[in-house]
Amino acid sequence: MEYSSCIICGNGSPTPMFQKHSEHGEVFSLVKCGKCGLEFVNPRPPIEDIGKYYERQYFTRRSDRGYDNYFSSELRSEIERVMKMNLADLDFFSYEKEISGERLALDIGCAAGYFVALLRNRGWQAEGIDISHDCVNFAVNSLRVPVQQGNVIEAEFSRTFHLVTLWATIEHLHHPQNVLQKAWDILKPGGYLYISTCRTGPFSFQAVKGANWRFYNFPQHLYFFNGKTLGKLLSRYGFEQQRFRTYGSGTGKPGTPVRKIADFAARYLYLGDMMLVSARKPVSGSELPSKKGESHEGCTYHW
């Protein structure tokens, strides 16, 4: 296992919150930074060992940690419905109209490639990258979309993009700060970064559920942001936040009055335990802030 300090403020002594078992039986601890409020799993499996937690059953067996057949047409339709809602909330369709000529996009952590396919059907030159062999195989062979398997930090791209997306991905990353810097590097000036991720905080459904919250899945989910902590990280890597929305409650059964009321509150009263953020790389500006001085990436050591 490896320990990590806070990636936002560098605090090496976070406060323990609670422990939870993984499906493999290991016990993982959630900690919270006393300086900035970031929550993260500490210690955690090193990146070279995390693959065993993303074997095929993670995508094909319903559990609190995985999906009920992620590769089914029914789930694809639901995912696309949510994606289109998210795009509308982030004012994507207006941005799309602003781009003249070829539109280029990269989906980081693209899973089965559904968003890549959605964009390509809209005329974008979209591609994806993911670490899961099963997902990449499905995207390439079933959806026929350009997706590569690998770590985006190590990947090389021959062009820059108008749009980079991290849909429900940043919480899985060992080094989110490095991926944000990579996103900055491969975005065109004026390009957008879209992020969706689970959201903590006193004014969210996470606060009601506590340790039983639906997104406390260890160790697949490693980081838990709120609007403030994610905003700090984006700002450090040069991004200008444009839009912020919340959605999702995980309360009540789908279609019931309880769920409808809870989801309304999540979306329109900003109580959701999922959040959407759009951030823009300035058209012109100074050097990337993290390259000027200390980046507070946090030290890591093995245990």
Residue ranges of domains in the chain: 55-302
SS3 118: helix
* Confidence class for position 237, pLDDT limits 50, 70, 90: very high
d(CA 234, CA 180): 7
Q: Which residues contact 156 (CB under 8 A, 6 or more apart)?
A: none
Can you name the residues that pair with 40 across neighbouring β-strands? 31, 223
Tens of pLDDT, residue by residue over 120-155, are 999 999 999 998 888 999 999 999 999 999 999 999
Looking at residue 6, its pLDDT comes to 96
Q: Are 219 and 269 in contact (CB under 8 A)?
A: no
d(CA 167, CA 280): 16
d(CA 3, CA 29): 11
Tokens, residue 25 = 């039986």
d(CA 265, CA 47): 37
Q: Per-residue DSSP letters for 22-88?
A: -TTS-EEEEEE-TTT--EEESSB--GGGGGGGGSTHHHHS-SSSS-S-TTSHHHHHHHHHHHHHHHH
Tens of pLDDT, residue by residue over 9-37, are 999 999 999 999 988 789 999 999 999 99
DSSP code, position 225: B
Residues 31-46 have a mean pLDDT of: 96
Q: Kindly tell me the number of DSSP H helices and DSSP E strands found in the chain.
A: 9, 13
What is the rounded average pLDDT for all residues in the chain? 89
d(CA 156, CA 73): 32
Looking at residue 219, its pLDDT comes to 94
Using alpha carbons, select from 28, 31, 30 the residue that is nearest to residue 1. Answer: 28
Strands 104-108 and 125-130: parallel
Tokens, residue 59 = 């995508």
Question: Is residue 55 predicted with pLDDT exceeding 90?
Answer: no
Looking at residue 216, its pLDDT comes to 96
55-302 folds as: Rossmann fold (3.40.50)
Question: Is residue 293 predicted with pLDDT exceeding 80?
Answer: no
Looking at residue 80, its pLDDT comes to 95
Tens of pLDDT, residue by residue over 93-116, are 999 999 999 999 999 999 999 999
Classify each residue of 222-239 as buried b or exposed e, where b means 16 or more C-beta atoms within 10 Å of its C-beta.
bbbbbbebbbbbbebbbb
Question: Is residue 286 predicted with pLDDT exceeding 60?
Answer: no
Question: Is residue 295 predicted with pLDDT exceeding 50?
Answer: no
Tens of pLDDT, residue by residue over 241-253, are 999 999 999 999 9
Q: Per-residue DSSP letters for 192-214?
A: EEEEEEEB-STTSHHHHHGGG-T
d(CA 262, CA 274): 13
Looking at residue 105, its pLDDT comes to 98
Q: Are 249 and 266 in contact (CB under 8 A)?
A: yes
* Confidence class for position 294, pLDDT limits 50, 70, 90: very low
